[in-house]
Amino acid sequence: MAMTEPLVITDKNQMRQWSRSMRAQGKTIGLVPTMGYLHEGHLSLVREAHQRTHVIVVSIYVNPGQFAPTEDLSTYPSDFSGDIKKLNSVPGGVHVVFHPHNLYDYGAGKEERIEKEKEKKGDGDVSCLDNSGLGHETWIKVHNLEKGMCGKSRPIFFRGVATVVAKLFNIVEPDIAFFGKKDYQQWRIIQRMVRDLDFGIEVVGSEIVRDADGLALSSRNVYLSPELRTQALSINQSLYQAKRLAENGEANSIKLRDSVVHSIEEAGGKIDYVEVVDQENLEAVEETIVRPVVFCIAAWFGKVRLIDNMEMISV
């Protein structure tokens, strides 16, 4: 059956009313949270949501709370009309695009900067804030899981992610939320938050989607020059090399990690981190691998920071 254009909702109260009307009809709700500039990875989540829920909400919201002042909020790519076209290309489409202007009142100063950036991009409207003038001051931190990896180099990142995802969950009230495993630490943090705070939501992690050359899909890939993109292929290549070594009996995490670091640096990348961590608690495995782990990487190619990972079973 052909899908009509999705309903675009910018107001939190209207979004909640829509979800509750669907639930009153006995329909299950799937949520795919995104920051827009959609690619095939996002669309794969929509297709998975079609398999598991009756109606689908895609949120498009560039979350200022996860960007430090030195990071790329102002330059994060945006193409709302293009996003709608891509969502319509998926068989069955989506039912709602939730596109709020801002979900958190950061107070004077930062709030003014955010307003200017949002106005330039034409993102949503202002109705998701209560305009009380009191500002917001509640943050959610998943303390242990956010300490390592991206949490080291981006110390406010996961606080911003967890808080806004919790707000999205409270507004949309989904039954199932779909996240990509490329952001492995983020996925595990959201799972833990949902467990700890008793959200009645299943958090699904979907496999990484890659281009034909192996590069994990990312909205930031658009900033890679052809030369930098060729260099960035070393991430996926080094992960597969480490996986082959592990499958052939190499169980020393330090040796495996060093092989990955060498491959990326030799290709011209600058390492942020390469970690071998437990798949569940994300604790670093410093010596012999005896349980399922995930190799997680963040590396710079020029001014573009890319992340990737690969799950591996114990040897």
Could you give the residue numbers annotated as active site?
A: 42
DSSP, collapsed to helix, strand or coil, labels residue 42 as helix
CB count, 10 Å around CB of 31?
Answer: 29
Longest alpha-carbon distance in the chain: 62
The conformation of residue 3, written as its DSSP 8-state character, comes to P
CA proximity to 100, closest of 2, 199, 167 = 167
**Whole-number Å distance between alpha carbons of 95 and 25:** 15
Q: CB of 18 within 8 A of CB of 56? A: no
Place of tokens 């709370």: 65
The per-type count for the chain, helices as H runs and strands as E runs, is 9, 9
Length of the chain: 315
CA proximity to 23, closest of 58, 43, 53 = 53
Q: CB of 295 within 8 A of CB of 310? A: yes
| Helix (H) or strand (E) run with residue 188 in it | helix 184-196
Q: CB of 308 within 8 A of CB of 236? A: yes
Q: How far apart are the first and last CA of the chain?
A: 47
The conformation of residue 72, written as its DSSP 8-state character, comes to S
| Helix (H) or strand (E) run with residue 277 in it | strand 270-278
